[in-house]
Structure 1
Amino acid sequence: MELLENNELGWHQADVEEERKQNSTPEEKIDRIESLFGEIMKELDLDLNDDSLQDTPRRVAKMYVNEIFSGLNEDNEPRISNFDNVYAYHGPLIEKNIELKSFCEHHFLPIYGVAHVGYIPNDKVVGLSKLNRIVEFFARRPQVQERLTVQIADYLQKVLGTEDVAVMIDAKHLCVEYRGVEHCGSSTITQIYRGRFEDPLEQRKFLELVK
Structure 2
Amino acid sequence: MSEEKKIEKIEKHFFHIMEILGLDMNDDSLRKTPKRVAKMFIREIFSGLDPKNTPNFSIFENKYKYNQMLIEKNITVYSTCEHHFLPIIGKAHVGYISNGKVAGLSKINRIVNFYAKRPQVQERLTIQIVQSLKKMLETKDVACIIEAKHLCVNSRGIRDTDSSTITTELIGAFKKDSEIRKEFLHHIGIS
Partner of 1:36: 13
Structure-1 separation of matches of 2:61 and 2:182? 28
- Per-residue deviation, 1:81: 2.0
- Per-residue deviation, 1:71: 0.3
Correspondences of 1:2-17 after superposition (within 5 Å): none
Pairing 1:201–2:179 present? yes
Moved over 2 A (4+): none
What are the superposed Cα offsets for residues 165-200 of structure 1, whole Å, 9 maximum, x if unpaired? 000000000000110000100100001110111122
- 1:100 is matched with which residue: 77, 94, 110? 77
Q: 2:110 aligns to what SS in structure 1?
A: helix
Partner of 2:37: 60
Structure-2 separation of matches of 1:155 and 1:205? 23
Partner of 2:94: 117
Pairing 1:191–2:155 present? no
Partner of 1:5: none
Correspondences of 1:76-95 after superposition (within 5 Å): 76-95=53-72
Report the aligned-residue RMSD.
Answer: 0.5
Structure-2 separation of matches of 1:120 and 1:66? 34
Structure-1 separation of matches of 2:47 and 2:169? 25
Q: 1:118 aligns to what SS in structure 2?
A: strand
Amino acid at match of 1:118: G
More helix per residue:
1
Pairing 1:74–2:51 present? yes
Amino acid at match of 1:42: E
Pairing 1:145–2:122 present? yes
Q: 1:89 aligns to what SS in structure 2?
A: coil
Amino acid at match of 2:164: S
Structure-1 separation of matches of 2:4 and 2:184? 43
- Per-residue deviation, 1:144: 0.2
User: What's the TM-score once normalised by structure 1's chain length?
Assistant: 0.88
Partner of 1:159: 136
User: What's the TM-score once normalised by structure 2's chain length?
Assistant: 0.97
What are the superposed Cα offsets for residues 22-75 of structure 1, whole Å, 9 maximum, x if unpaired? xx0111100000000001011001111100000000000000000000000000
Q: 1:149 aligns to what SS in structure 2?
A: helix
Amino acid at match of 1:28: K
Structure number with bigger Rg: 1
Amino acid at match of 1:208: H
Aligned residues: 188
Structure-2 separation of matches of 1:147 and 1:193? 13
Structure-2 separation of matches of 1:206 and 1:109? 31
Structure-2 separation of matches of 1:34 and 1:172? 29
Amino acid at match of 1:203: R
Amino acid at match of 2:140: E
Q: Specify every segment of 5 or more residues in structure 1 that has no aligned partner in the other structure, as ranges.
A: 1-23
Structure-2 separation of matches of 1:43 and 1:203? 52
Structure-2 separation of matches of 1:139 and 1:94? 19
